[in-house]
Chain A
Amino acid sequence: MERYILEATKYTPYIELDTNLGTLQVMGDSYPENALELYQPLLTRIDAYFADNIKKLDIYLQIDYLNTSSSKMLIDIFTKLSYYFDKGNQISAVWKYPEDDEDYREQCMMFLEEAHFPYQLVGLAY
């Protein structure tokens, strides 16, 4: 396994997990009808990546809009990553969000409360 790439569509984000570099990127809008279908392959690959040895993962998120189904999957991904962080893996996240959007910021904070790993929340001017 090296790179898992899912190209963006009009309503799903670009997803890239590079296991050589130890990076995960999710960029774009995320409002599929079924987010379980969209994100399950990524969850499976995250498990495979952390299955042996201690690893590092730098996460970069720039998701303009998330529907509720995607929010649920994202929190499940955060819970999983927190579990791997607690096992000694090096995990950190940068999350860019529209800086004037308090709703979005509140939403991010809900996610990040679940994160045991270090993170940066960065406001972006749109």
Chain B
Amino acid sequence: MRSSFSAYSIFQAMHDNNIQFSYKGPLTQDILTSFGESIKEKLHTDDCDEKVIRRIFSILVESAQNILKYSTDRLEVDAVTRKDAGVGIIGIGNLTDKEFLVFSGNLINADSMPRIKALIDHLNSLTAAELSLHYQKQLKEGTIAADGSAGLGWIEIARKANRPLEYEFVELSPGEIFFEIKIYIRVED
């Protein structure tokens, strides 16, 4: 036996938590598109409400692009341009008939933990109307960075989710943290 790996352990974890799709690896644009389109197609097949599908897709894109840009675990994905992509995990589950779950996780530097924590705690503390205003203000008054970051991703996720956003920081070694977040999306009746 080469390792103690067992497909069943993954099968069981996904089965027990009603997870339908999960991907671990570099979150390139192409992978994000394939993953996102497959999930859209599955949700359409399941006759899921169009508005909910759009919310889920939006949360998937923003979550995946956070990993792509900010994960500290990086892999070169283009030998010519030397472009790299952040590695992480992303997935979706249908927890109950009333709620979907989008989860994601990636490595971060311990230094960025307080900033991420403060940001998400702040978003969790706002009402829906306050979030909308916060988004609008950042959209109009914020600036876009050279890497395309507009400071809107988390606000957008919070707007489309059923808050609070649940997060956790798992310390792997001094200075190295696995940041994970669970985002619930309510299915309206």
Name A residues whose Cβ lies closer than 8 Å to a Cβ of B: 10-11, 31-37, 65, 67-69, 71-73, 75-76, 98, 100-104, 106, 110, 114, 126
Q: Do A69 and B144 touch across chains, with their CB atoms under 8 A apart?
A: yes
Q: Quote the shortest CB–CB distance from A49 to chain B (angstroms).
A: 22
Closest to B51 in A: A101
Q: Do B136 and A71 touch across chains, with their CB atoms under 8 A apart?
A: no
**B186 contacts A by Cβ under 8 Å:** no
Chain B neighbourhood of A35, CB < 8 A: 144, 148, 150
Q: Quote the shortest CB–CB distance from B158 to chain A (angstroms).
A: 12
27 contacts between A and B (CB under 8 A): A10-B33, A11-B29, A11-B33, A31-B65, A32-B148, A33-B29, A33-B68, A34-B147, A35-B144, A35-B150, A36-B145, A36-B146, A65-B58, A68-B152, A68-B153, A69-B152, A71-B139, A71-B152, A72-B142, A75-B139, A75-B140, A98-B54, A101-B51, A101-B54, A106-B132, A110-B136, A114-B140
- The listed residue (A65, A72, A76, A106) touching B57 by CB distance below 8 A is A65
Chain A neighbourhood of B29, CB < 8 A: 10-11, 32-33
Q: Do A69 and B54 touch across chains, with their CB atoms under 8 A apart?
A: no
Q: Which interface residue of A32, A34, A35, A72 has the most chain B CB atoms within 10 A?
A: A72
Q: Please report the C-alpha to C-alpha distance between residue A91 and residue B148 in the assembled complex, in whole angstroms.
A: 27
Which B123-148 residues have C-beta < 8 A from chain A? 132, 135-136, 139-140, 142, 144-148
Q: Please report the C-alpha to C-alpha distance between residue A35 and residue B30 in the assembled complex, in whole angstroms.
A: 16
Tally B residues with Cβ within 8 Å of A.
Answer: 33
Q: Please report the C-alpha to C-alpha distance between residue A65 and residue B61 in the assembled complex, in whole angstroms.
A: 10
Chain A neighbourhood of B156, CB < 8 A: 68
Q: Please report the C-alpha to C-alpha distance between residue A110 and residue B156 in the assembled complex, in whole angstroms.
A: 14
- The listed residue (A36, A75, A98, A114) touching B148 by CB distance below 8 A is A36
Q: Do A72 and B54 touch across chains, with their CB atoms under 8 A apart?
A: no
**B50 contacts A by Cβ under 8 Å:** yes
Closest to B132 in A: A106
Q: Please report the C-alpha to C-alpha distance between residue A100 and residue B49 in the assembled complex, in whole angstroms.
A: 10
Q: Do A98 and B50 touch across chains, with their CB atoms under 8 A apart?
A: yes
Q: Do A103 and B140 touch across chains, with their CB atoms under 8 A apart?
A: no
Q: Do A33 and B65 touch across chains, with their CB atoms under 8 A apart?
A: yes
- The listed residue (A10, A75, A101, A114) touching B50 by CB distance below 8 A is A101
**B182 contacts A by Cβ under 8 Å:** no
Q: Please report the C-alpha to C-alpha distance between residue A37 and residue B148 in the assembled complex, in whole angstroms.
A: 7
List the 7 closest A-B pairs by CB distance, nearest first: A34-B148, A68-B152, A72-B150, A69-B148, A10-B33, A72-B144, A68-B156
Q: Please report the C-alpha to C-alpha distance between residue A118 and residue B30 in the assembled complex, in whole angstroms.
A: 37
Chain B neighbourhood of A72, CB < 8 A: 139, 142, 144, 150, 152
Chain B neighbourhood of A11, CB < 8 A: 29, 32-33
